[in-house]
A and B are shown apart, each in its own frame.
Chain A
Amino acid sequence: MTTVKKLWMVIGILVILSPLGFIIPALFGAGGAWGEWSLEEIKKLTGYVPQGMEKLSRLWSSPLQNYAMPGQREGLVHGSLGYIIAALAGVALAAGIAYLLARILGRREERKND
């Protein structure tokens, strides 16, 4: 098996294991990352929502917010399934776009080279 194929298997395993990144923080009762609070959390922390923040935060709503499917049910099982689907979609998109960029931007290999 080539290195590239083996590494794709590693990515596949990481995708399957990815719900750990959702379950373990949930078990510890940890929220999101520091400095990535929602407006409600900001209000709890500071007592108010900064005006500019409120305006800018409404600028964009992502279709799969927090790596979850739209209308996904609560709980670890549904969360994990949504997380795996999000991981699959993200990995496929990231790889696809990067591959295209490399093909477009990368210089064609000269034939006489090795």
Chain B
Amino acid sequence: MHIPDGYLGPATYGAMFGVMIPIWTAASWKLNKTLKTRQAPYLALGAAFTFVIMMFNIPVLGGTTGHAAGTTIIAVLLGPWAATIAVSVALIIQALLFGDGGITTIGANCFNMAAAGAFSGYGIYRLIALRAEAKSKRRWIAAAIAAYVSLNVSALLAAFQLGIQPILEKAPDGRPLYAPFPLGVTVPAMALAHLLLFGFVEAGITALVVKYFQKNDPDMLSRS
């Protein structure tokens, strides 16, 4: 769901930068207030993890691929603002260096996979986990469900942005100027693969990491 250059018109990618710039600013401010210097190694780990996990492309029927993102697990451990920053850093490197996602679409991709992914994942996790003990079963189940939903939120947002292009921007001959497929195509195509497969991969990875912390460093789970 790394939207490439050319798939979103200026109206959409401009709006998405307009949304992301205040979020990045707020995240920097929040990090200043909440992240302790000793957590710097974890933010680094988070950015590295999300970068490498997105390289594991998984094939699905229909000849395309998808991947997990790791956004929710970072949000569970470090909070949604730190997760927004960590995933944004990885996405910007992917766009600039590796052509995975466009330059004009950095705002949209960071909104979908970093900010919306982190806040939906974190919100659902907190809602289900409540005040459960750090080592409780409820914690990792909450994180897994949150991860599943969060990845699907990200995918749905990307599908929506792609699907509105034919409505928003047309050439004089009436043909779409940017991403050519309507919502009726983009939403089912993106949603199906993420609901049936990639969401479960994301949930599994998230549950594994939460269990690892429950065993080795449960304080990380009670802090957030």
Contacts and interface: CB of A to CB of B under 8 A. Distances in A.
Interface stretch (B57-65, B121-129, B134-142): B57-65
Contacts of A17: 56
Contacts of B86: 98
A3 B212 CA distance: 10
Contacts of B189: 34-35
Interface in A70-107: 83, 86-87, 89-99, 101-103, 105-107
Given A83-B55, A96-B44, A90 B93 contact: yes
Contacts of A86: 55, 98
A33 B102 contact: no
B175 A59 contact: no
A94 B223 CA distance: 24
Contact of A3 (B1, B48, B216): B216
A31 B64 CA distance: 5
A109 B98 contact: no
A105 B59 contact: no
A53 B5 CA distance: 7
Given A11-B49, A36-B3, A53 B89 contact: no
Interface of A is mostly: helix
Contact of B104 (A36, A59, A94): A59
B179 A94 contact: no
Contacts of A22: 55, 57
B146 to A, nearest CB: 20
Closest 9 CB pairs of A and B: A52-B177, A102-B40, A98-B47, A53-B6, A30-B59, A62-B99, A57-B6, A21-B56, A56-B6
Interface of A: 3-4, 6-8, 11, 14-15, 17-18, 20-22, 24-25, 28-36, 39, 42, 46, 48, 50-57, 59-67, 83, 86-87, 89-99, 101-103, 105-109
Interface of B: 1-7, 9, 28, 31-53, 55-60, 62-67, 82, 85-86, 89-90, 93-100, 102-104, 158-159, 162, 169, 171, 175-180, 186, 189-190, 193, 213, 216-217, 220
